[in-house]
Amino acid sequence: MPPSAVSEPVVRFPADPGVGSAIRGAFGQLTTVVAYEARKLAHDPTELLLRAVQPALWLVVFGSVFTKVHAIPTGSLTYLQFLTPGILAQSVLFVAIFYGIATIRERELGIVTKFLVSPTPRVVLVGGRTLSASLRGFSQAVIVFLLALALGVTLDWSVVTVVGVFLAIILGSALFAALSMIIASLVKTQERFLGIGQLMTMPLFFASNAIYPISIMPAWLRAVTYVNPLTYLVDALRQLMIPGAGGMFPAGVDLGVLAAVALMLIWVESRLYPRMAQ
């Protein structure tokens, strides 16, 4: 049935909306991309639940055993206390690093094309997608906090902690999701992407302070951890979550590094993303 309100079939060219309106518009578009991801998760939350398995194994099995044997020197902290932020960071990494596969799937359909012909700045499209990755990161945080509670790990529950952890997850998710999207934009097929994704996660994880302190590492590996963004995420989370935990850097510095690297990667990907539709 044709709509009752027939608009005039006369061509009118719209005026330019101006800079202030463009910025407000970009913010609205950014939240739209994130809200869209939230809708998808709401329709199919099974993925979120399945993702609880891995951190549970690490904390319950690995963490409990290594706490008993005292094999890893963690100073005044119990090993489980030391490990918990590391496993949260690991969860954030594992969720975000495969985020690019969604982009590849959307490219194989025509969805990337639809996004790119819309009047949405490329940096907003990419930024929105990377921020969306943090939604899954939040659900991982809830799982890790609940597991820690069940295992009797002493955590800091102050407002500063919660806000700080929230921020760290957003930055970490955005960083690794942007990295993942860059790889997706370059390799363009699921098979190649999966190969590279697998290849990257383990080195990022083991060459970091997630499950052991860098003080026990050989010098060359320690040097690698300093250029590994995961180290800064772990360092921030550990100081925020565990009372009395010392850090390599102040947490604010860690978050600053994560933010700077994330922004740089988002910028790079916003240049590469349009190639997905060419």
Partner 1 sequence: MIDSVLETNELTREFGRLTAVDRVSFAVRPGEVFGLLGPNGAGKTTTIKMLTTLLPPTSGEARVAQFDVRRQPNQARRVIGYVPQLISVDGQVTGYENLWVFARLYRIPHEEREARIREALEFMGLTAFRDVLVKNYSGGMIRRLEIAQAMMHRPHVLFMDEPTVGLDPLARDAVWAQIELLRRTYGTSVVLTTHYMEEADHLCDRVGILHRGRLVALDTPAALKASLGRVDGSLEDVFVHYAGEEVELGGAYREAGRTRRAAVRRQ
Q: Does residue 225 interact with partner 1 by CB under 8 A?
A: no
Kindly state the smallest distance separating residue 115's Cβ from partner 1, in Å. 8
Kindly state the smallest distance separating residue 172's Cβ from partner 1, in Å. 25
Q: Does residue 191 interact with partner 1 by CB under 8 A?
A: no
Cβ(250)–Cβ(103) under 8 Å?
Answer: no
Q: How many CB atoms lie within 10 A of CB 265?
A: 22
Q: Does residue 11 interact with partner 1 by CB under 8 A?
A: yes
| Rounded Cα distance, 178 and 163, in Å | 22
CA atoms within 13 Å, Cβ hemisphere of 126: 28
- Cβ-based nearer residue to partner 1, 108 or 195: 108
In angstroms, the Cα distances linking 109 to 3, 11, 104 are 30, 32, 9
Q: Is the dihedral of CA 68, 69, 72, 73 positive or negative?
A: positive
Region binding partner 1 by CB under 8 A among candidate stretches 71-79, 109-117, 144-152, 172-180: 109-117
Q: Does residue 72 interact with partner 1 by CB under 8 A?
A: no
Out of 23, 57, 61, 117, point to the residue binding partner 1 (CB under 8 A): 117
- Cβ-based nearer residue to partner 1, 61 or 117: 117
Kindly state the smallest distance separating residue 3's Cβ from partner 1, in Å. 5
Out of 103, 120, 132, 139, point to the residue binding partner 1 (CB under 8 A): 120
Cβ(98)–Cβ(54) under 8 Å?
Answer: no
Q: Does residue 43 interact with partner 1 by CB under 8 A?
A: yes
| Rounded Cα distance, 247 and 240, in Å | 10
In angstroms, the Cα distances linking 35 to 134, 143, 261 are 12, 22, 24
| Rounded Cα distance, 209 and 228, in Å | 10
Q: Does residue 20 interact with partner 1 by CB under 8 A?
A: no
Q: Does residue 119 interact with partner 1 by CB under 8 A?
A: yes
**Footprint of partner 1 on 246-275 (CB under 8 A):** 274-275
Interface residues with partner 1 (CB under 8 A)?
Answer: 1-3, 5-11, 13-14, 16, 25, 28-29, 32-33, 35-36, 39-40, 43-44, 106, 108-111, 113-121, 188, 274-275, 277-278
